[in-house]
Amino acid sequence: MPNEHIGFITHPVYRIEDGQAIVYLYGRLRTGESFKIRQPYRPYFFVHSDAVDDVSSLSDVDTEDTDLTDFDERAVSKVILDIPKTVPTLRDSILENNHQVFEADIPFTTRFLIDHDIKGTVSIKGHKERVDDDERYDVFFDEPDLNNASWRPRASDLTVASIDIETNPDQEDILSVAVATNEDDVTVILKHDEDVDGATTVKDEEALLHSFREVIVDYDPDIITGWNVIDFDFDILKEAFDDHDVTFDLGRDEDEASLTVRSAYMRDSSMTVRGRIVLDGIHVLRNNFVSLDDYKLDTAAKEFIGEQKAFSGEGKEEAILDAYHNDPSSFLSYNERDATLVLDIFDESNALNVSILRSCLTGMPLNRVSSTIASFDSLYLSELRKAGYVAPITDYGQGERTTGGHVMDSTPGIYDNVVVCDFKSLYPSIMRTFNIDPLTHYKGNNADNPIKAPNGARFSRDKAILPSILDDLTQEKDEATRNEAWVTRQAVKILMNSMYGVLASPNCRFFSEAMANAITGFGHHILKHTRRELEDNNYTVIYGDTDSIFIDLGVDEATTAREQGKDLAASINEHYQEYLAEEYNVESHIILEFEKLYKKFFTPPQRGSSGGAKKRYAGLIDDNGHEEIDFVGLEYVRRDWTKAAKTFQREILWRVFHDKAIESFIRDYVDSLRNGEIDEELIYQKGLSKAPEDYTKTTPQHVKAAKKLDDFSDNTISYYMTVDGPEPLQARHHSIDYDHYIDKQLKPVASSILNVLGKTFYDVMQGTEQVDLTSF
């Protein structure tokens, strides 16, 4: 019996060899060896069994009877081809002949992984062949038995290489490239006229490229990363490789790497290196919901490791070039540190570990873990096949409108001891409770005693696939919470929360407006029902948003409020066990949890209305004597507001929450602004989604500022509003328009708070009476 080897797959790919499709899997074994697997595999899809003769007349294909059916219980047969690229042509011909096709749009390597039930890690049973030294991997398996494995590696189990290049200011000349690994190896290849300690010194750019390729091949990384690494570093490197006619082969085979740089705002650039995965550090953080003010390396470094780049800000390029010529050791350290910073950020943020676990949960390669629809397919289609069904192909027709979560109007005011309770994973819990699933929805209209959603959608009570998947994920998340395994908890939470969004997307093969709105309809019903239940028991609900409810318990002591909040959540959960069993004959998975207590809570009125604002509030949290203000939706957390406005808002609320007078502070702050004492806090920063010249229909203020620069190549502009309009920070020629900042930044912030206190900004600026909470 062959030995079992466990490995993590970094790159699934296929080749056509002698007219046959061969799948190759690359990765790293748990023992530390890099591997390559070869496995012949044929593409296929399904048609109704009574259409097989017509299909055979269209193309010379193999067919095979199956025990599978479509959702209507009609028998289907397998249509088997030799080459993946012929699938779309035959599929379209079959559709033109008015026959249905099933699962004919699943990518070839994805189909292979689903069929073998492989999700990230693989069990390999077969002969392990050691390869010659000239190969770029350690071991080879030819046609082994493959299955899923339970191993879940961390980044430390893989080899990660971070690269950073330095160029001259016009980016025409590569000065150096640093390659740092998570095994504490760092190599800097420096193009210089003299040797520099600590660097591999080369004489010209072509030699630098050859040396860089050798370093990558020698390190044999599973993951290549960096900061903006595809759009900047590799884009420049690829051009240099082409200019010098050096083969751009950095993978585990000698295929050239391919690079696709996209300027579109919503699409990421990509790079394919055979056998390895290239991940941009920016995307790793963003795709795992790590939020930063901006995604510059300097910002991330300060957030996670408390460091700042040695050269940053205005004049950075000139300072780097000067160090290169006059202080090469300093230049070397700078280049090296920029490469290692990315690895340190990954360590502190855990973002890469979350990506790896998401790959193990869904089977998606590391560069596709944020592809929620593909992840859903990987999980769902495997279980659907086990249940004896095949899936339809995706219908990319016009999507219908789906409703969002229920958001209550808030009651404006300032409150003491507000309890916030959250429904734990509300939409996944709804799917589990009400048996919401593509298959049960399809069968719902003909089912006896279906579960009826508020929007009229019906779901059969048969065993369902999606609720079963969510049951398993919920157990894993709960266990991770108990064990304080926060990486696992985050990865599972991201996956569970994506399920509703997938079903609500017209790009999903199972998209249904009725099914998506059934989920949100139940969400609305639960939030409204909870509010009625609380108010019937004499509690005051001051706000609610999708899965959260804010309750004024009317108690003076924070400790009492906290305990009452926990008891209240428990009683609501008991109520739902009884209510849902009686009303829908289902077992409730709806769980309300005490989330937090705000010692003080502020919700503003809606601008231009006496009603309460939605998704805008602030609350004072006391964590064992450490107080901080939690802002949601207010100017303090919005990137398009100035630091002056944010400081102003935070200080006013701090004073209000501590029963301090605010009018004198407001007047003093306005005076400071008008006297030019806080000019550095009046800078606007805003991102551009395209080049300034591409804004044609409208030209926002930040774009006007960007157009005043001769050479604007960044994606963020910093500017002032002056008496002559917006002007970039580095090219301001007119006086700051202080009236603009008072009227557009300070006044709106102050007014939202003063209105709750029965005052106006005009009153404060004209009057002398002090305002504090004890006056109202």
The string of DSSP letters for 407-420 reads: BPPP--EEEEEEEE
pLDDT at 697: 84
pLDDT at 345: 97
Q: Does one domain contain both 207 and 270?
A: yes
Q: How far is CA 646 from CA 77, 231, 754, in A?
A: 64, 33, 16
Q: How far is CA 116 from CA 44, 102, 123, 146, 363, in A?
A: 14, 19, 10, 7, 11
Q: How far apart are CA 248 and CA 308, in angstroms?
A: 33
Domain of 14: which CATH number?
3.30.342.10
Helices 328-349 and 297-305 cross at an angle (nearest 10°) of: 60
Domain of 493: which CATH number?
3.90.1600.10
Q: Does one domain contain both 471 and 565?
A: yes
pLDDT at 736: 97
Whether the Cβ atoms of residue 618 and residue 602 lie closer than 8 Å to each other:
yes
Q: How far apart are CA 685 and CA 706, in angstroms?
A: 11
Q: How far apart are CA 148 and CA 120, in angstroms?
A: 8
Residue 626 placed within a domain: no
What is the DSSP track for 708-774?
TSSS--SSEEEEEEETTEEEEGGG--S-B-HHHHIIIIIHHHHHHHHTTTT--HHHHHH------GG
**Closest listed residue to residue 636, CA positions, set 622, 620, 617, 621:** 617
Q: How far is CA 269 from the centre of its chain?
A: 15
Residue 368 placed within a domain: no
Beta-carbon contacts of 367 under 8 Å, excluding residues fewer than 6 positions away, are 270, 277, 278, 279
pLDDT at 608: 67
Written as one letter, the residue type at 174 is: I
Q: How far apart are CA 443 and CA 72, in angstroms?
A: 8
Q: How far apart are CA 96 and CA 544, in angstroms?
A: 50
pTM (predicted TM-score) = 0.89
Q: Does one domain contain both 116 and 175?
A: no
Domain count, the chain: 4
Q: How far apart are CA 489 and CA 16, in angstroms?
A: 40
Residue 230 DSSP symbol: I
Q: How far apart are CA 219 and CA 177, in angstroms?
A: 15
β-pair type (186-191, 200-202): parallel
Q: Does one domain contain both 354 and 405?
A: no
pLDDT less than 70: residues of the chain? 1, 263-267, 313-314, 397-401, 608-610, 767-776
Residue 199 placed within a domain: yes
> Residue 268: what are its φ and ψ, rounded to 5°?
-85, 145
Q: Where are the beta strands (DSSP E) in 424-516?
A: 451-452, 458-459
Tell whether the torsion through CA atoms of 567, 569, 570 and 576 is positive or negative: positive
Helices 643-657 and 663-674 cross at an angle (nearest 10°) of: 160
> Residue 382: what are its φ and ψ, rounded to 5°?
-60, -45
> Of 124, 148, 172, which marks where a domain is finished?
148
Domain of 739: which CATH number?
1.10.132.60
Tell whether the torsion through CA atoms of 529, 530, 535 and 540 is positive or negative: negative
Q: Does one domain contain both 69 and 115?
A: yes
Q: How far apart are CA 723 and CA 740, in angstroms?
A: 9
With residues binned 3-state (H G I as helix, E B as strand, rest as coil), the percentages for the chain, rounded to 5, are: 40, 25, 35
Residue 627 placed within a domain: no
pLDDT at 773: 40
Q: Does one domain contain both 402 and 295?
A: no
Q: Does one domain contain both 75 and 122?
A: yes
Q: Does one domain contain both 193 and 328?
A: yes
H/E segment holding residue 576: helix 558-584
Q: Does one domain contain both 134 and 162?
A: no
Residue 619 placed within a domain: no
Q: Does one domain contain both 125 and 83?
A: yes
Domain of 338: which CATH number?
3.30.420.10
pLDDT at 397: 61
Q: Does one domain contain both 765 and 653?
A: yes
> Of 148, 172, 195, which marks where a domain is finished?
148
Neighbours of 761 (CB within 10 A): 21
Residue 249 placed within a domain: yes
pLDDT at 624: 82
Q: How far apart are CA 21 and CA 369, in angstroms?
A: 25
Domain membership of residue 489 as a residue range: 394-603
Angle at 671 between CA 666 and CA 673, to 5 degrees: 95
Q: How far apart are CA 715 and CA 219, in angstroms?
A: 33
> Residue 201: what are its φ and ψ, rounded to 5°?
-90, 130
Q: How far apart are CA 775 and CA 754, in angstroms?
A: 13
Q: Which two tokens stand for residue 491?
A: 């990865």
pLDDT at 408: 83
Written as one letter, the residue type at 307 is: E
Report helix, strand or coil for 587: coil
Residue 531 placed within a domain: yes
Q: Does one domain contain both 329 and 405?
A: no
Four-CA torsion 585, 587, 589, 592, nearest 10 degrees: 70
Residue 335 placed within a domain: yes
Helices (H), 165-291: 205-219, 235-243, 281-287
Whether the Cβ atoms of residue 603 and residue 612 lie closer than 8 Å to each other:
yes
